[in-house]
């Protein structure tokens, strides 16, 4: 397969650039993009700017490459064929709010496998502190929420998507409450609505500062009671199972690795929902849990899905800076501890270490400016003053109010001798949220038939160039629900049977390699992983430049080639899989997608700020779109482990 543009696309007018033999990047203006197959629907991003900035990525490695599950419920139903192959109507990859909400709906129509990389609760949802934004107050309006979202997104949002999400959001909140989610109420008995940066009204529904945890709890309880849903924990998704039907790519399931038993388990499914979260771990400092290694985005890219807006990485302005705590943690955290946006929304003030308030210097909204503005303000202060963190002070508020609104934050800080009711909190920006991802239509559909996406892994057009605070859980809920009916329709029309399992060769665990070889590979992989994280932080962070981005691209490609050569020289084969090796593949894939997208945007918009193009350019108000590209000698991270069969 050599075409890089789905059937039905408009005429291309290309500009071609070649970077030092590492591959090609074609930037094109595309008049329209129609996803092929059963969808027959034009994804009309953006309403005000119907063109796209296209990147055709064909990065080549300089080295050629050689060609009994555990569940939370005892699994005894006939849909499970054998120990290594399981057949379901629906496969859901990810156990955050998007995956669980979807599973509960489609389970009314068929069998569902929920596949999760670690424990079911270990997701970005569980770490979401602030809340869910929705219009639930008479003084608020959908129009106001729409405008706040578009302004925060630097006018790159798809207006139709924004209106759909803001309109349907309140009903999704009511459904959660009906399912048993408990949110905070005020003295008047109504839901307590908080306000966060970028919002013009109080519209954040929350459960103290542990909203995500409460939503996850309610959804997991419902899932575990549903006899049609089977949870497979500690199953790492390796690659989507796809085949070609003419010019269409079709998804028929996923290969996974049971990381406890080291068995490869194949899931054959009529419909697959990708709800695997983001890729915050490609940066060394992130609020994301260890599982957020970009697996879903990378798998989808390898499976020929269209990817969009990957340059827009949101850095949360305020993660706890351990260096500034009175007592330092005894060991490094796996992920940074988030200090929710709601602290600033509740009156928290940012100071430098001389206790000078600085945000009014950067924006008239001061601490209530959108996250991209606040993160750049903090970054500028740290660089100018050569300091490691700034201070966020909420201590001027009543003690009782602070402890009732932020009990989790107060308890965490108190562990290290900091009383937030009396002292300011040391904070620093950290990678937080991917506004880009797998390009989705209004029903979560992708250009790959049978593959739907929801949550952070998806790029729906809601967030544009910068996500408005507390819109992420809302988007996950809305799109998980919108993907249900088309998924059911596709499932009912599918004639897939279990014999499809034999269409693909299977990944294998490296049992043929000696333990000392495995240890060498693991050591090398961990070193390379840290190097990639360091490059992303140093060259692809809050403030960027063309020179630094090109340096990052070169360094990442060199590291990828070095890593692959080392593995294959030690006897590793392309079909072999292991947790850290698979994650490293996905690291490389996502890092390259971010860098390529950033290089293609010749303006500063939202989360993408570059000193070479420091201003907004209306002519460049275009989503970045990366179409897949196949070649024989792509790097290991960029190709599926098996060849695609013909349906």
- pLDDT tens for 456-510 read 999 999 999 999 989 999 999 999 999 999 999 999 998 887 678 889 999 999 9
Could you tell me if 157 and 250 are in contact, meaning their C-beta atoms sit under 8 angstroms apart? no
The domain that holds 529 is classified in CATH as 1.20.58.100
- Beta strands 425-434 and 390-393 are antiparallel
Q: Please tell me the least confidently modeled range out of 124-128, 146-150, 179-183, 305-309.
A: 124-128
Q: What is the pLDDT confidence band of residue 171, given thresholds at 50, 70 and 90?
A: very high
Q: Give residue 352's domain range.
A: 319-428
Q: What is the pLDDT confidence band of residue 125, given thresholds at 50, 70 and 90?
A: low
In total, how many domains does the chain have?
A: 2
Mark 336-353 as b/e (b = at least 16 C-beta within 10 Å).
Answer: bbbbbbbbbbbebbbbbb
Percent of all residues in the chain with a pLDDT value above 90, rounded to a whole number: 74
On whether residue 410 sits in a domain, the answer given is yes
What is the C-alpha separation between 226 and 630, in angstroms, rounded?
41
Q: What is the pLDDT confidence band of residue 126, given thresholds at 50, 70 and 90?
A: low
Q: What is the pLDDT confidence band of residue 313, given thresholds at 50, 70 and 90?
A: very high
Q: Please tell me the least confidently modeled range out of 426-440, 494-508, 628-642.
A: 628-642
Q: Please tell me the least confidently modeled range out of 152-161, 606-615, 636-645.
A: 636-645
* pTM for the whole structure: 0.87
Residue 49 clears pLDDT 90, i.e. is over it? no
Q: What is the pLDDT confidence band of residue 300, given thresholds at 50, 70 and 90?
A: very high
Of 400, 428, 456, the one marking the end of a domain is 428
CA dihedral 550, 554, 556, 559 (to 10 degrees): -160
Could you tell me if 642 and 503 are in contact, meaning their C-beta atoms sit under 8 angstroms apart? no
Residue 529 clears pLDDT 80, i.e. is over it? yes
Q: What is the pLDDT confidence band of residue 129, given thresholds at 50, 70 and 90?
A: low
Please give the pLDDT value at position 456: 97
On whether residue 598 sits in a domain, the answer given is yes
- Taking only the tens place, the pLDDT of each residue in 546-566 is 999 999 999 999 999 999 999
3 or 325: which carries more pLDDT confidence? 325
Please give the pLDDT value at position 54: 65
The domain that holds 417 is classified in CATH as 3.90.700.10
SS3 content of the chain, % helix, strand, coil (to 5): 35, 20, 45
Could you tell me if 636 and 343 are in contact, meaning their C-beta atoms sit under 8 angstroms apart? no
- Taking only the tens place, the pLDDT of each residue in 365-392 is 999 988 888 999 999 999 999 999 999 9
On whether residue 468 sits in a domain, the answer given is no
11 or 633: which carries more pLDDT confidence? 633
On whether residue 591 sits in a domain, the answer given is yes
Q: What is the pLDDT confidence band of residue 4, given thresholds at 50, 70 and 90?
A: very low
Instruction: With H, G, I as helix, E, B as strand and everything else as coil, classify residue 231.
Output: strand
Please give the pLDDT value at position 123: 59
Residue 29 clears pLDDT 50, i.e. is over it? no
Token pair for 565 = 């050569």
On whether residue 132 sits in a domain, the answer given is no
344 or 14: which carries more pLDDT confidence? 344
**Same domain? 422 vs 534:** no
Q: Please tell me the least confidently modeled range out of 405-419, 495-509, 512-526, 585-599.
A: 495-509
On whether residue 184 sits in a domain, the answer given is no
Residue 602 clears pLDDT 90, i.e. is over it? yes
Of 410, 428, 446, the one marking the end of a domain is 428
**Same domain? 422 vs 519:** no
Token pair for 161 = 């998507």
Please give the pLDDT value at position 118: 85
Of 428, 455, 484, the one marking the end of a domain is 428
On whether residue 613 sits in a domain, the answer given is yes
23 or 641: which carries more pLDDT confidence? 641
Q: What is the pLDDT confidence band of residue 41, given thresholds at 50, 70 and 90?
A: very low
Residue 55 clears pLDDT 80, i.e. is over it? no
147 or 372: which carries more pLDDT confidence? 147
Q: Please tell me the least confidently modeled range out of 46-60, 130-144, 362-376.
A: 46-60
Please give the pLDDT value at position 383: 93
On whether residue 367 sits in a domain, the answer given is yes
Please identify every residue annotated as catalytic: 371
H/E stretch holding 306: none
**Same domain? 328 vs 423:** yes
**Same domain? 526 vs 629:** yes
Give the single-character DSSP code of 368.
Answer: G
């Amino acid at each position: 397969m050599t075409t890089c543009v789905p059937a039905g696309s408009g005429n291309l007018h290309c500009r071609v650039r070649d970077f030092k033999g590492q591959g090609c990047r074609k930037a094109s203006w595309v008049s329209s993009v129609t996803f092929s197959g059963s969808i027959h629907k034009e994804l009309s991003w953006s309403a005000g700017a119907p063109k796209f900035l296209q990147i055709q990525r064909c990065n080549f490695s300089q080295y050629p490459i050689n060609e009994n599950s555990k569940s939370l419920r005892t699994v005894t139903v006939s849909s499970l064929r054998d120990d290594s192959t399981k057949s379901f109507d629906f496969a859901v990859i990810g156990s955050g709010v998007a995956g669980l909400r979807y599973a509960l709906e489609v389970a009314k129509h068929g069998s569902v496998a929920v596949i999760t990389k670690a424990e079911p609760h270990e997701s970005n949802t569980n770490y979401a502190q602030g809340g869910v934004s929705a219009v639930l107050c008479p003084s608020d309006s959908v129009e106001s929420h729409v405008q706040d979202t578009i302004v925060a997104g630097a006018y790159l949002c798809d207006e139709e998507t924004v209106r759909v999400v803001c309109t349907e959001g309140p009903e999704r909140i009511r459904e959660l409450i009906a399912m048993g989610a408990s949110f905070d109420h005020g003295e008047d008995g109504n839901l307590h609505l908080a306000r966060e940066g970028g919002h013009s009204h109080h519209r954040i529904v929350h459960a103290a500062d542990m909203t995500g945890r409460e939503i996850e709890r309610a959804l997991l309880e419902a899932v575990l009671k549903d006899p049609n849903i089977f949870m497979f924990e500690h199953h790492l998704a390796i690659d989507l199972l796809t085949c070609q039907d003419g010019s269409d790519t079709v998804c028929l399931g996923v290969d996974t690795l049971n990381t406890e038993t080291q068995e490869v388990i194949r899931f054959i499914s009529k419909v697959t929902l990708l709800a695997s979260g983001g890729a915050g771990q490609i940066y060394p400092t992130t609020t994301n849990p260890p599982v957020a290694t970009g697996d879903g985005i990378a798998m989808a890219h390898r499976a020929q899905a269209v990817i969009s807006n990957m340059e827009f990485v949101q850095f949360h302005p305020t993660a706890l800076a351990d260096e500034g705590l009175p007592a330092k943690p005894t060991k490094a955290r796996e992920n940074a501890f988030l200090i929710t946006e709601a602290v600033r929304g509740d009156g928290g003030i940012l100071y430098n270490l001389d206790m000078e308030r600085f945000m009014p210097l950067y924006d008239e909204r001061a601490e209530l400016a959108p996250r991209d503005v606040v993160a750049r303000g903090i970054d500028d202060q740290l660089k100018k003053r050569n300091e490691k963190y700034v201070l966020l002070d909420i201590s001027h508020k009543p003690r009782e109010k602070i402890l009732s609104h932020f009990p989790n934050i107060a308890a965490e800080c108190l562990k290290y001798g900091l009383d937030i009711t009396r002292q300011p909190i040391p904070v620093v920006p950290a990678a937080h949220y991917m506004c880009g991802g797998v390009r989705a239509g209004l029903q979560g559909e992708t250009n790959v038939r049978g593959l739907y996406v929801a949550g952070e892994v998806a790029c729906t057009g809601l967030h544009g160039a910068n996500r408005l605070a507390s819109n992420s859980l809302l988007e996950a809920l809305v799109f998980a629900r919108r993907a249900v009916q088309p998924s059911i329709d596709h499932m009912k029309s599918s004639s897939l049977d279990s014999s499809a399992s034999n269409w693909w060769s299977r990944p294998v665990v490296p049992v043929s390699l000696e333990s000392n070889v495995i240890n060498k590979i693991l050591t090398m992989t961990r070193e390379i992983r840290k190097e990639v994280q360091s490059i992303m932080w140093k060259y692809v962070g809050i403030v960027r430049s063309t020179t630094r981005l090109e340096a990052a691209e070169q360094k990442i490609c060199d590291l990828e080639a070095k890593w692959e050569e080392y593995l294959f020289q030690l006897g590793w084969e392309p079909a072999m899989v292991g947790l850290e090796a698979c994650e490293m593949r996905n690291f490389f894939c996502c890092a390259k997608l971010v860098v390529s997208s950033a290089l293609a945007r010749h303006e500063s918009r939202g989360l993408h700020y570059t000193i070479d193009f420091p201003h907004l350019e209306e002519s460049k108000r275009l989503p970045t779109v990366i179409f897949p590209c196949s070649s024989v000698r792509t790097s290991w991270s960029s190709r599926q482990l098996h060849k695609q069969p013909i349906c």
